[in-house]
Structure formats: C-alpha cells, structure tokens
Amino acid sequence: MRTRPLKVALLGCGVVGSEVARIMTTHADDLTARIGAPVELAGVAVRRPSKVRAGIDPALVTTDATALVKRGDIDVVVEVIGGIEPARTLITTAFEHGASVVSANKALIAQDGAALHATAEQHGRDLYYEAAVAGAIPLIRPLRESLAGDKVNRVLGIVNGTTNFILDKMDSTGAGYQEALDEATALGYAEADPTADVEGFDAAAKAAILAGIAFHTRVRLDDVYREGMADVTAADFASAKRMGCTIKLLAICERAADGGSVTACVHPAMIPLSHPLASVREAYNAVFVEAEAAGQLMFYGPGAGGAPTASAVLGDLVAVCRNKLGEATGPGDSAYTQLPVSPMGEVVTRYHISLDVADKPGVLAQVATVFAEHGVSIDTVRQTGKDGEASLVVVTHRAPDAALSGTVEALRRLDTVRGVASIMRVEGE
C-alpha cells in the first residue's frame, strides 16, 4: 500500500462540503483501505473564512480558490460550490494543473459537460459527478458502466425532492399548492426562493445529464422541455384519483421508437397508482430505467441533503483516487450516437383535459369533432353539470403534443367552451 497521501482540495464548505470533510476525517482508515493509499484534505476554499467549521483545521481554509487548484500537488479537486462561474473556470484550471475533479454541480454539467469532458480528456484526468443527480442514489455510474453493454430506451423519474414533497402533501392531505409549499419551506425542503425547484429548472438540468448518458448523445439544458408545477390544483388531484392515478413532477428521457432521435422533458404528469413511482413519498427521489436486455430497473432513495449527497461525492472520490493510483482514467464522455433531440411538439403521450362548457345538447359532439379534426383519438369522456354549466373531462389516447396544442386552441374558439380548466399529460400506462 502506498504511504504518501493523495491530496484533496475542497471547493465549498457548506451543507455538502462540510459533510464531505467530516466523512473524510471520520472514515479515514476505511477510505485508505478501499483506495490503497491515504487521502489528505489539503485545502478548503470558502467565501467566509472567519466562520467556525467544526473538524477542519483553520490553516487549511483559504478564500483563494484559484491558487488552491493551481498548487500542482493536488490530486483531486472536489467542487461543491455550485453555479456556472467560478466553478467552470476552477474545474478547467484544476485539469490544466494535474488534478482530476469530482463535482456535484448539475447546472454546470448540464450546460457545459461536453466541454469539461473534452478538457479532462485532453489532460488525462477524470471528471466524475454522481452527486449531480439524485443525491445518494447510485444512478450515473450504473447508467455509464453497469448498463454500458445494454441499450437504454427510457428513463423516467422523480429527481427533485422539494417538488415531490409538495405534490405528496397535496395528494395525501388535500392541501392547496401554496399551503404545501409553505410547509415545505418551514421544514427546510424548499429554499426561500423555490423557483429552481417548482419551475422545473433543477429537474431539467438532471434530465439533460441523464439523457446524455443513457443515450450516448449530446443533450444540453436548453434541449430539455420544461413546465413547472405551480398550476397543479386540488381539482387535478381529484381527477387523478378518479382515474386511479396521482400526480408527480417527472423527468422523462426517451429514445424514439425508430431510434433516430431522443426527447428530454420535465413536467407534471398523472401516473397510475400501480406504477412504482406513484408510491414515492415525501422528499424522496426515484428513477425508473427501461433497457432492452436488463428490462425495468428502479433506483430509489434520498435525493438531497448534506450527508446523502456527500456519500455520492465520496464514492466518486474513491473511484478517482483508485484511477490515480493505477495511472488510468475512468469512463469519459460518450456521445457517439449524435442523435438529435426532438422538439416537444413531436413527443407522443396521453392527455387529461378538463373543460368548462355550456350544459346543453350537442356540446359533446362539437368537442369530439374538434379532437377528430386534429387527429387526436379520445379514450374516455366524463361529463357533469347543472344550472347551464358543465365540466367535461377528456382523456385521450397517445398523440403528438403539437396535435394536442392545435386541438386546445380550436376548443377555445368554440362558443360552447367557457374555458380550459387544466391540461395534464398521463404517463406510465
């Protein structure tokens, strides 16, 4: 066993970074045995050096992250500061000065993963980022390594704990969206500004990463269609329950049936209670993978938090250190298929549409005609009404999103349609 330690620089020492440092210290002997050499925390870059950080030698703390990654004796840089800059520049600088990188930065990997992988390969270094998607759940490595000999056709998942907590509370207690969001905020699941979570930006970044790895193609954050969940109502949950469904904010990455393109999207969707994802409660994450040979696989666990995310970071750290000792690098970027990403209008799925209509003869016929004219087949219809007003709920068979959009626009022009109360996709049939 090598006695000279591998030196680690830690960029960021917040909730995740402090847990990484703690585990490196408390599990030092185990890490040494698993890696084949000791690992040493050689420096910690922070913005507020005066803050007391339990278990970390103040002499290791610096505000000069650039100088830390340029030192030349650093073997691995762990980046947990998040955001695009200065993280991107610091990671690139680390590669240029001989260090491999472990990151938890989903936004950066989703936006610039290809360029970062290219720089890592140019300098013979590793870039690992298991912690960027679904916290402690082993997901990226199984997709990138365990399923490397298989063909993945679909990845469907709950990848944001905040949104799952909110929707779960709406479903289980009948709470409205704002009430459930307020509870999530009070419990610390939602940030003071929850936009990144509830508008789907966080999940979209993760979907881009998952799609790129699963389908061996370039998928950037801008390629991912995104809808938030602020418009989901108690009435939507009532409709879902009548259909034997619940509602989840899903990241959906899919290979086209002809294999010629892929799609990646994030949006609320009704999902049957019989589907494994329907039972995912509270702030947990779960991802359902469909592969040709392996069949259906599900990965489940805590998707956020300091200790779970640090667990994923440390797993990558062990792998990268082992590679370093063996003078090798692990799997890099795989984008050999170069498949195009189809726009949302070409995505085929089922829809649940709730209409407010006049309660009089002929309305249902008019609505059905509009669906037929746009090539959208109706699966079921439910109508209730009184005092001249009615509610019409239509569930379609699978159809392209563009066809559904045209249908809705035509429905809005009917004199007998007072309004479109809600439109929601139905997944997991």
pLDDT in tens, 12-70: 999 999 999 999 999 999 999 999 999 999 999 999 988 888 889 999 999 999 999 99
Distance (Å, whole) CA 221 – CA 67? 30
Pick the closest to residue 255 from 247, 263, 245, 265 (CA basis). Answer: 263
> For the chain, how big is the Rg over CA atoms in Å?
24
Distance (Å, whole) CA 310 – CA 104? 9
Residue 284 pairs in a beta bridge with 302
Distance (Å, whole) CA 6 – CA 219? 34
pLDDT more than 70, % of the chain: 99
Residues 6+ apart with CB under 8 A from 181: 166, 190, 194, 198
pTM of the model: 0.94
Q: Token pair for residue 85?
A: 């800059």
pLDDT more than 90, % of the chain: 89
pLDDT at 120: 98
DSSP designation for 87: H
Q: Token pair for residue 282?
A: 């509270």
Distance (Å, whole) CA 208 – CA 425? 20
The tens digit of pLDDT for each residue in 72-84 reads 999 999 999 999 9
Distance (Å, whole) CA 233 – CA 381? 20
Which residues are marked as active site?
206
Most confident option among 131-135, 209-213, 256-260, 383-387: 209-213
Q: Token pair for residue 311?
A: 């667990």
Q: Which helix (H) or strand (E) holds 406?
A: helix 401-412
Residue 425 pairs in a beta bridge with 269, 351
pLDDT band at 3 (very low <50, low <70, confident <90, very high): confident
The tens digit of pLDDT for each residue in 172-208 reads 999 999 999 999 999 888 989 999 999 999 999 999 9
pLDDT at 429: 65
Residue 151 near residue 292 (C-beta atoms within 8 A): yes
Q: Checking DSSP bridges between strand 284-291 and strand 152-158, what pairing results, if any?
A: antiparallel
pLDDT band at 428 (very low <50, low <70, confident <90, very high): confident
Q: From residue 296, give the alpha-carbon distance in Å to each of 116, 139, 289, 419, 426.
A: 31, 14, 6, 40, 19
pLDDT at 133 > cutoff 90: yes
The overall average pLDDT reported for the chain is 94
